[in-house]
């Protein structure tokens, strides 16, 4: 497996598509559309029966994609994701058991947090990069801005309720490295297998940054 082009998931791309693959046949063309649109870092969530096979298919067939596994909640899923070819790991929350499994994986990982105490606990354990989820429901940009003063060493990938309208606001924060979302993957486009539309939406998303210009 080739090393990541950056040491951190947060430094690979401004926007990370969060993908739910319902039909395995869609995995590769969907990933190719995202890569063509400038979004090569793809989080495939382990929410469907075909998710691991989808990661494996993308890892095998789309060499320009950096595919990872999301919605990890157990050490067994960490092992399965690595075996499928995941190059980074993301969890919606964390426990010490899950955290140690992710740490031992040897690939970059983002444990999920939504409170200040969770952030402090991870910093205490030597983890500085985290997923902030569910971002909008947990306080949004105002919450993250408040954290940047007392906890400047923590960096985040916010996901949950983020779209093209508010993504630049998140990316403008000093403690945000990237954002995750699925707005470039509308359900009707996936159902119609309209990969040209997905590519176009991905291209728009890849240009987002603070102020709405290319990052």
- Residue positions annotated with a catalytic role: 43, 131
Task: Give 127's DSSP letter.
Answer: -
Strand partners, 66: 41
Tokens of 97: 């058991």
End-to-end CA distance of the chain: 28
Q: What does the alpha-carbon distance between residue 88 and residue 103 come to, in Å, rounded to a whole number? A: 11
Tokens of 52: 């691991």
Residue 9 contacts residue 68 (beta carbons within 8 Å): yes
Beta-carbon contacts of 191 under 8 Å, excluding residues fewer than 6 positions away, are none
Residue 56 contacts residue 23 (beta carbons within 8 Å): no
């Amino acid at each position: 497996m080739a090393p990541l082009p950056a040491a951190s998931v947060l430094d690979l791309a401004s926007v990370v598509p969060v993908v739910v693959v319902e039909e395995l046949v869609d995995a590769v063309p969907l990933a190719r559309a995202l890569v063509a649109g400038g979004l090569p870092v793809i989080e495939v969530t382990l929410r469907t029966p075909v998710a691991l096979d989808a990661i494996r298919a993308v890892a095998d067939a789309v060499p320009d994609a950096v595919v990872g596994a999301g919605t990890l909640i157990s050490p067994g899923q960490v092992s399965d994701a690595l075996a499928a070819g995941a190059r980074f790991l993301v969890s919606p929350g964390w426990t010490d058991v899950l955290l140690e499994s992710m740490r031992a994986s040897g690939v970059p990982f983002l444990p999920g947090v939504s409170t200040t105490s969770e952030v402090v606990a991870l910093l205490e354990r030597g983890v500085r990069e985290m997923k902030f989820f569910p971002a909008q429901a947990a306080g949004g940009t105002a919450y993250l801005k408040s954290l940047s003063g007392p906890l400047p060493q923590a960096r985040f990938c916010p996901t949950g309720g983020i779209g093209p309208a508010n993504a630049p606001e998140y990316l403008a924060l000093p403690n945000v490295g990237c954002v995750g979302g699925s707005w470039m993957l509308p359900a009707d486009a996936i159902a119609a297998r309209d990969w040209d539309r997905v590519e176009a939406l991905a291209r728009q998303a890849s240009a987002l940054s603070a102020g709405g210009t290319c990052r």
